[in-house]
A and B are shown apart, each in its own frame.
Chain A
Amino acid sequence: MTSRVVATVAIAGVATYLIRWSFVAVAARTTTLPMWASRALRMIPPAMLAALVTPAVLRGPGGFDPWSYKTIAAALTGVLMWRTGRADVALVAGMALATVASIAS
């Protein structure tokens, strides 16, 4: 496993650094991107993050499983984050609900 960790860190680390460095390396005073490119860039965070949330919440060991405690806990976290902007509060509340529900089931 150690060699797998090293290989993963190396590849992911280099790739992530290149992403971070990409435009900064060029750093012209006015980075004029074509319109479609700047639109696409702006859509990356909401798309990526949503794609990471939904399968983990709405799926279980047996496949699509939308009616689980996970959905309710995630809804609580989402609403709290939306209303208060407090990541710590939202996370603790969601995890607390999930823990209670998980122990109860």
Chain B
Amino acid sequence: MLGDVDHRRAVRAGLVAVAPLMAGVIPFGLVFGATAADHGFGAWTVAAFSVGVFAGASQIAAVDLLAGHAPVWVAAGTAAVINLRMLLYSASLAPWWADEPPGRRAVAAYFLTDQAYAVSIARYPVAEAGEDRLAFYFGAGVGLWTMWQLTTQLGLALGATIPADVPIAFAIPLVFLVLAVPAVRDRATAVAAITAGTVAVAAAGLPANSGLLLAAVCGITAGVVAEMRAEHGTVGGAS
């Protein structure tokens, strides 16, 4: 019985922790729904993406591409590339979940988002011993999932009412920009971002959206090199 109370308390703590971040998620959901409406998609498409993929930035890109008659593999491939950042989240959370049963971990993986990751990785190092980590994470993750389904459908409903003059599509890069700002924390990540951003513009004409992947590879490489150079310098290195 005491265990049940602890689990519920952890779940609630997760929900409370993620609540302030919902303000950032709501515009994403509305933009995706409105983008879908703009392209003539309906509630089933919105639900399919929001449940099946459950990742805002990639959903927006995918429906945009599909509406532009891109082949399925380009839309799906672009979505996958956009979601590659979750590799970091998975790698970072995995050690904390090492003692959890594999089935529970497999379910937890589905709910992994920027926000669920952020609140969990902040909590775990300072949580009380014995606090149920996955319960906390599920509180945040399932709360976000629910909010996502609601806001994407709401965006769809509202999207049809937005006047044609409003450049809804422009919200897409703005949303990515808002995510990008906190991701640039130091010189190396700035180098990564500037390099990728520059290559992306230069290579925008390449077929099958390969410019995006090329930009990412260049940016990642440049960032890694910048970081290695910075460390090599401070270690006072004669090489």
| CB nearest neighbor in B for A9 | B52
- Which A residues are in CB contact (< 8 Å) with B195? 47
| CB nearest neighbor in A for B113 | A20
| Residue in A1, A8, A15 whose beta carbon sits within 8 Å of that of B83 in the complex | A15
| CB nearest neighbor in B for A55 | B204
- Which B residues are in CB contact (< 8 Å) with A5? 41, 45, 48-49, 66
| CB nearest neighbor in B for A99 | B166
- A interface bracket (residues with beta carbon within 8 Å of B): 35 or more
B15 close to A (CB within 8 Å): no
Residue from the set A17, A42, A82 with the largest chain B CB neighbour count within 10 Å: A42
Interface residues of B in 46-94 (CB under 8 A from A): 48-49, 52-55, 57-58, 61-62, 66, 72-73, 75-76, 79-91, 93-94
4 cross-chain pairs, A with B, having the tightest CB-CB distances, nearest first = A47-B219, A43-B223, A87-B24, A56-B173
Interface residues of B (CB under 8 A from A): 23-24, 26-27, 41, 45, 48-49, 52-55, 57-58, 61-62, 66, 72-73, 75-76, 79-91, 93-95, 97-100, 102, 105-106, 108-110, 112, 165-167, 170-184, 188-190, 192-201, 204, 211-212, 215-216, 218-220, 223-224, 227-228
Interface residues of A (CB under 8 A from B): 1-2, 4-13, 15-17, 19-31, 33, 36, 38-59, 64, 70, 73-74, 77-78, 81-82, 85-88, 90-92, 94-95, 98-99, 102-103
